[in-house]
């Protein structure tokens, strides 16, 4: 990735730096190796992950997810190192997700990171999961100072940078947008492979009816729990057909799973576009960066792009390799912190399920 000249306190390194990042805040365990070069450019050497997938209609429980991470950790880390063509002795630091996320999976990843730190005598760097998404997004897309829409299974936030802090302009008041999608996918028995949100997106492409759902923006914040309740109620409507087929040639007034997926996407994404546009107007930005697993959704990207073009702006988005939780984003944010002199002592390497984006001192930016 090309170097960018920025007015910030992070100077170009005098030598190449290597970091390995470990991510496991939810149902994916990922490991990635990143290199920062002397000219200020960045190189992704490897980015490997494995997903814990449950049967249709079921979510993933913290205990089972943690067991999955422990089972797959060595395989994923070894594959990551082989693809990067390095050993653990070569890395400058070991970065891990400190939070937010699910308690047991976070603890499993922190345990693995501590073990590697002690075995190879490498410094530990605890990383905020959201800041990892933002920094990787900025690096991959080249966005300079965007309004960030962070949308995932556990988080929904509109963010902008100011004075070495990622400020939260708006967020969900209850459940995250990804959690809303995942839970509805379970209601209509969609597969969790590769992800329930992806399968809702594919089903929505076949939808033909836009059904009425609550539109819950409250200032800069949003609410999704009422929308989830309302769309679940449609599955009990006498017009609903789970198989998507009409009862007979005369009975076309039916509601299909595709209609529900289409209506859900259109409503919740319109809400996200609205609050993102407000943040753009407030800070005078022409850039939007979409990060997080839900950010892969092409319909969300299209709706955001229409709004941005009307404001003579630009949308920066990524594919699933960087949008969905991964180890390389943790390595990127961790290495930025490490180069600014930050290190997490072993005694303070505990994890936290609640670690807000605006609690992080972004020392590497002006």
Q: Domain range holding 273? A: 142-322
CA distances from 218 to 45, 172, 354, 365 (A): 43, 10, 23, 31
Distance, in Å, from the CA atom of 281 to the CA atom of 77, rounded to the nearest integer, reads: 43
Does a structural domain hold residue 151? Answer: yes
Provide the annotated binding site for substrate: 150-154, 182, 197, 201, 297
> What average pLDDT does the segment 213-234 reach?
97
Task: Indicate if 315 and 355 belong to the same structural domain.
Answer: no
pLDDT of 2 reads: 47
Number of domains in the chain: 2
Does a structural domain hold residue 12? Answer: no
Task: Indicate if 297 and 307 belong to the same structural domain.
Answer: yes
Task: Indicate if 223 and 76 belong to the same structural domain.
Answer: no
Task: Indicate if 315 and 331 belong to the same structural domain.
Answer: no
Residues in the chain: 366
- Is residue 112 scored above 80 in pLDDT? yes
> What average pLDDT does the segment 263-290 reach?
97
Measured from the Cβ of residue 237, the count of other Cβ atoms closer than 10 Å reads 12
pLDDT of 116 reads: 98
Helices (H), 121-192: 129-141, 177-187
CATH no. for residue 172? Answer: 3.30.420.40
Q: pLDDT category, 241, cuts 50, 70, 90? A: confident
List, for residues 90-106, the tens digit of each pLDDT value.
Answer: 999 999 999 999 999 99
Does a structural domain hold residue 96? Answer: yes
- Is residue 327 scored above 60 in pLDDT? yes
- Sign of the torsion formed by the C-alpha atoms of 303, 307, 136 and 43: positive
Provide the annotated binding site: 129, 133, 150-154, 182, 197, 201, 297, 325
Residue 249 contacts by C-beta under 8 Å, 6 or more apart in sequence? none
Task: Indicate if 260 and 167 belong to the same structural domain.
Answer: yes
Q: Which of 124-138, 208-222, 243-257, 324-338 has the lowest mean pLDDT?
A: 243-257
pLDDT of 237 reads: 86
Q: pLDDT category, 239, cuts 50, 70, 90? A: confident
State the pTM of this model: 0.94
- Is residue 73 scored above 60 in pLDDT? yes
Provide the annotated binding site for a divalent metal cation: 129, 133, 150, 325
List, for residues 139-187, the tens digit of each pLDDT value.
Answer: 999 999 999 999 999 999 999 999 999 999 999 999 999 999 999 999 9
């Amino acid at each position: 990735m090309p170097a960018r000249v920025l007015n910030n306190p992070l100077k170009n390194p005098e030598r190449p730096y290597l970091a390995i990042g470990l991510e496991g805040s939810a149902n994916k365990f990922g490991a990635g190796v990143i290199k920062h070069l002397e000219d200020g450019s960045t190189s992704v050497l490897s980015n490997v992950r494995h997903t814990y997938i449950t049967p249709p209609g079921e979510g993933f429980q913290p205990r089972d997810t943690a067991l999955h991470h422990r089972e797959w950790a060595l395989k994923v880390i070894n594959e990551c190192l082989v693809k990067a063509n390095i050993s653990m002795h070569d890395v400058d630091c070991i970065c891990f997700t400190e939070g937010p996320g699910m308690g047991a999976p976070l603890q499993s990843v922190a345990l693995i990171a501590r073990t590697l730190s002690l075995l190879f005598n490498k410094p530990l760097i605890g990383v905020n999961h959201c800041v990892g998404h933002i920094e990787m997004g900025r690096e991959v897309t080249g966005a300079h100072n965007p309004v960030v829409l962070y949308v995932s299974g556990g988080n929904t936030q509109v963010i902008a940078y100011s004075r070495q802090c990622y400020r939260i302009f708006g967020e969900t008041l209850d459940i995250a947008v990804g959690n809303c999608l995942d839970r509805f996918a379970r209601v209509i028995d969609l597969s969790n492979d590769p992800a329930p949100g992806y399968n809702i997106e594919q089903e929505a492409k076949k939808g033909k009816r836009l059904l009425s759902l609550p539109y819950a923006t409250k200032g800069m914040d949003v609410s999704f729990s009422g929308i989830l309740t309302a769309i679940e109620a449609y599955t009990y409507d006498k017009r609903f057909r789970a198989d998507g087929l009409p009862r007979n040639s005369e009975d076309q007034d039916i509601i299909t799973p595709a209609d529900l997926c289409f209506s859900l996407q259109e409503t919740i994404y319109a809400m996200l576009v609205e609050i993102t546009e407000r943040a753009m107007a407030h800070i005078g930005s022409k850039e939007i960066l979409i990060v997080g697993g839900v950010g892969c959704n092409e319909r969300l990207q299209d709706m955001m792009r229409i709004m941005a073009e009307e404001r003579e702006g630009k949308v920066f988005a990524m594919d699933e390799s960087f949008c969905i939780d991964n180890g390389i984003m943790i390595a990127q944010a961790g290495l930025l912190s490490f180069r600014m002199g930050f290190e997490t002592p072993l005694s303070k390497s505990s994890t936290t399920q609640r670690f807000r984006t605006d609690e992080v001192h972004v020392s590497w930016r002006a």
